[in-house]
């Protein structure tokens, strides 16, 4: 089943900055615990809810993982990894920055600076 670009853009509009973070770090298979540790270590300052302390997951990241699993954007057997659909969502978020709100753009710029995209061309 082919999902058209407009459908991908429409789906991407429903994603949160935390969904973007999870999509970014699931390019390669990663265990959920390692994902949590890495995000908190590298981006703990932007996580509003309890970071990984005493074995508890961040609510923001846990919610993003569960949401992306239910959408089929990532899969979890045995490790979390982006699906083809998740890859298309991820690329859509990066390539259509002008369409997203300030919070999403701040997260994208934090992970993938605008200069990196310009430097490739």
pLDDT digits (tens, 9 = 90+) for 69-120: 999 999 998 999 999 999 999 999 999 988 899 999 999 998 987 654 444 4
Q: Is the pLDDT of residue 12 over 60?
A: yes
Q: What is the rounded CA–CA span in Å between residue 17 and residue 34? A: 19
In a domain, 121, yes or no: no
The stretch 26-53 carries a mean pLDDT of: 79
- 29, 81 contact by CB (below 8 A): yes
In a domain, 31, yes or no: yes
In a domain, 25, yes or no: yes
In a domain, 29, yes or no: yes
The stretch 2-26 carries a mean pLDDT of: 88
**What's the CATH number where 66 sits?**
1.10.10
Residue 13 is predicted with a pLDDT of: 93
Question: What is the pLDDT of the chain when averaged over all its residues?
Answer: 83
Residue 37 is predicted with a pLDDT of: 82
> Residues 75, 69, 88, 8: what is their CA dihedral angle, to the nearest 10 degrees?
150
- 8, 88 contact by CB (below 8 A): yes
Q: Which long-range contacts (CB under 8 A, 24 or more apart) does 95-101 make?
A: 96/9, 96/12, 99/9, 99/13, 100/12, 100/13
Residue 117 is predicted with a pLDDT of: 46
Domain that holds residue 55: 5-116
- Number of structural domains found in the chain: 1
Please give the helix or strand (H or E) that residue 39 lies within, else none.
Answer: helix 32-43
- pTM: predicted TM-score of the whole model, two decimal places: 0.83
């Amino acid at each position: 089943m082919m999902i058209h670009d407009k459908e991908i853009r429409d789906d991407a509009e429903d994603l949160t900055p935390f969904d973007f973070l999870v999509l970014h770090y699931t390019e390669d298979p990663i265990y959920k615990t390692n994902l949590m540790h890495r995000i908190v270590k590298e981006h703990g300052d932007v996580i509003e809810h309890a970071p990984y302390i005493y074995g508890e997951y961040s609510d923001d990241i846990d919610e993003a993982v569960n949401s992306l699993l239910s959408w089929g954007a990532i899969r979890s057997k045995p490790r979390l990894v982006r699906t083809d659909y998740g890859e298309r969502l991820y690329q859509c978020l990066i390539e259509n920055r002008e369409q997203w709100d300030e919070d999403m753009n701040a997260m994208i710029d934090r992970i993938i600076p605008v200069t990196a995209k310009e430097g490739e061309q």
